[in-house]
Structures are given as structure tokens and as C-alpha cells.
Chains A and B, each alone.
Chain A
Amino acid sequence: MYAVRVNCTREIEFHQNCEHKMQAVVTPLTQALSEGNLTREELRELMERSNGPALKWLAAWVAVALTTSSLVVFAWNSWLIWPTMFLHGIVIVHHFSLQHECVHYSVFRTRWLNKLVGTICGYIIVLPNRFFRYEHCDHHTYTQLHGKDPELIPMPKNITEYLLFLSSIPFWYARVNELLRHTLGHLNDQEKRFIPAVEQSSIIREARLMVMFYLAVVLLMYTTGLWAPLWLWIIPLILGEPVMRFIRMTEHVGRPTVAQRQENTRTNLVSWPWRFLCWNMNFHAEHHYASSVPFHALPDLHEKIKKHIYIEPAGYLGAHRDILAQLRKGPSSTYAKG
């Protein structure tokens, strides 16, 4: 028997093989349906999946990535290579958004396509797809709950912490450390909680394959003298990561560390280029309400439930103004003080 807590609505107990002990968990979606914020027919329409929208979006995505990488090549022998690598890096780091959608199986109707594309994205941004799926499931179960949400970004205590987070130095330290730890066959206690025992060996195997791939790339660059992956992938990834940290902060940081989705998640209204890059994940509160709704339907879901979620109309910058304002007022005024 084990206990599961979802959205603070209730503690429940399961007997793994005993149907009689199972109790319903009130997900945000169940709650929205029962409160009439959304009808089942509307939900069904919103959840409809098709490969078409994703393939079109992906084609445009590849075109953008090719354009920004071409800019890097054109700027090869000038100082402009650094700003172009930064621009290209912004596109590279947004593979996280596509991978994120893929771990929810909501990009493509064909499920294996989600796995394939998610895995490729993971290799680009150093995030093993299978592991991320488990970790992210736990994030959806325990969103913003200290000690439980494995993706929780704590509210910075001061401006130094804020800037350090944006630098991505702690992020890369943790990411590389995590990958190497898994490669050596070690999962920490939190990971053992959210990864079923039967799956733990596959997580370790996945990390080892990824490390072997990176070693092969380095060896290839060294032996052939072709260093293009360094300039078109690795350096842009490092240069662009602070932008992704800036965006990831806007999703939950500064919102209350409570289970209620109406409170703990922020939707940011941003312009279409940013929406394109993040696969509509700026509609983050909507996504947490109904994670089965594909990215292309999130704007429609937004229209249905916008009165029931927290929205930052000034977008990413507005969210950071909010975070900084809370920082200036001190810990007693911040939401995320737990």
C-alpha cells in the first residue's frame, strides 16, 4: 500500500491490486468540469489530436533553426558570430518546449512520433526524454509543493540568487551532475519515488547512451577537425540557456507555493514569435489544467477558462517585474516563502 497526494485535495490510499481501496483524485480538470468551467464536449473537442498542426509547426521550426544556424555560418569570421550564436541559441534552447509537449504525447497523434521527437530534442538540450517524462509527471502531481515538486524553482531570496539562477550556472551544474549520477547507476531517493522500480534500469541505460553519444561527438570533432557542432550547437546552447531560465521562472516562481492551480501557475501573454518558439507553453496555467490538450488548442482553452486562472498580461517581462517587486518587499511579502 502507498499514499498519493494530488493537488492537496485529499490524501488517498491505494492497494496496488485492490480496486475497492481506490479513491478518486480530484485533478484540476475534474474540478473544472464539475464547476462548469468547461463541458465534457468542449474538452473532447479541445483534446482532439492530429499530426497535421504539429508537422506544419515543426516544418516552420526547422526552417527557423536553419536560418539562425546559417546566420552563424555567414558571420563566421567576424565579431557578429557571438550575437548570431546567441540568437541561434535562443532557438536551440526552445527544443525544451517541444520536448515538454512530446512527453505529454500531445504534439502528434501518432504516439511513437512524440517519443522520437522528444528523444531527439533531449539529445540536443542534454535532457534524457524518458527520465524527463517521469520527473515531469511528478511536477504535475505536486506542482509548487516544496520538497515534493522535483522541478520546483525556489523563489530567490535576493537579487544575487536571482541573477545566479539566470546565469544558468546552477542549472548546468545540476544537469550534468544528474546525468553523470545516472550514468554511474545512482538514483536519489526522490527519483526512486517517482520512477517505478521496473523502469529504473532503463533510466540508467538511457543516461549511459546519452553520455556515449556526446563522447562520440567530441571524438568525431577531435579526429576530423570539424568543429561545427561546437559553434552551431554546444556554444549556442550555453549562450541561449539564460533565456530559457528567464522563461522557466515565469511559469511558477513568485506564485503561491500551494496546490491550487488557480494560484500556483502563471499564464503569460506574449507575442506570436515567443508563442511560436515555446509551442504555446506560455499558456501554462491552461496546460496544468488539462495537460492532455495539445499545444495548438491551448489558446482556445485559454478563452474558455481565462476567468479561472492567473494571467500575466505583460508577458515574461511582466512576470519578472512581479518577481523582482516581491524580492524588493522582502520574504514576508513573497508568495514562495515555504
Chain B
Amino acid sequence: MQRDKQWRNLIAVSDLRKNWVTRVDFGNRPLAVYDAPSGVYVSLALCNHGGADLCDGYFDEHLIECPLHQGAFDVRDGRAIDTPATRPMKTFPARIIDGCVQIKI
């Protein structure tokens, strides 16, 4: 039976790298938290093309670029923007409550 998804605390907003990407280990899941102009977004940290850590990549507004091949994703919805990434990355609903980033998982 599948459990209902719940909002869970991830990281304090004050601990985020401003206008950049911050890596957070959520259990055994490495996640990438993006401080973007329109809000905070969260995705899996590993690129679904080659497995590199997106948190070592270049972040620009809503675009995260893989450090290995420069494939790129839109952090808002996970869609692949540039090859060699062709599949959307996994993103999680995120919100800020009482100075803490929460994700629904």
C-alpha cells in the first residue's frame, strides 16, 4: 500500500546558498535545492543522463547545468532544456514554512 506524501523539513532557508544550488542529503537521497528568482525548487541531485552531481554544476536563474556534459534542466518543472539530457529530472513540490524549506515526499 502506498503511503500518502507528506511535507517534510529539508533545510533552513538561511542555510541555502543565495541564488545558487545547495546539496542536501535527505536520508539516503541526495537532493539539490535551488534558490531561484521565483522561489525555492528541489530535485534529485544526480543528473539522469550521466549521474554527475548537479550541485557541482552551473546555476543561472531557473537553469541547472550538469557539470559533466552541460546538459541542462529547468528547475521549476524538471524539463530537459539542452542535450545530452533528454528526459525530465525528478522534482519535488517545495514550500517555505517558518524559515524552513519543506518538500512533499
- By a beta-carbon cutoff of 8 Å, the part of chain A in contact with chain B is 4, 6, 12, 14, 16-17, 19, 22-25, 27, 29-30, 33, 40, 43-44, 47, 49, 103-106, 109, 111, 130, 133-134, 137, 140-141, 194, 196, 198-199, 290-292
Contact = CB atoms under 8 A, between A and B. Distances in A.
B58 A27 contact: no
Given A24-B46, A105-B70, A292-B57, A14 B86 contact: no
A290 B51 contact: no
| Shortest beta-carbon contacts, A-B, top 8 | A25-B51, A137-B69, A292-B58, A47-B58, A105-B70, A27-B52, A196-B86, A22-B46
B60 A16 contact: no
Given A25-B53, A40-B17, A105-B65, 10 more contacts: A22-B51, A25-B46, A27-B52, A27-B56, A49-B58, A111-B63, A130-B83, A134-B83, A137-B68, A292-B58
A30 B50 CA distance: 14
Interface of B: 17, 20, 29-30, 44, 46, 48, 50-53, 56-58, 60, 63, 65, 67-70, 72, 81-84, 86-87, 90
10 contacts: A4-B50, A4-B51, A22-B46, A40-B56, A43-B56, A44-B17, A111-B63, A134-B84, A194-B84, A291-B70
A292 B65 contact: yes
A104 B72 CA distance: 11
A291 B82 contact: no
A133 B68 contact: no
Contacts of A141: 50, 68-69
B62 to A, nearest CB: 12
A239 B57 CA distance: 39
A13 to B, nearest CB: 10
A103 B50 CA distance: 17
A16 B58 CA distance: 23
B84 A25 contact: no
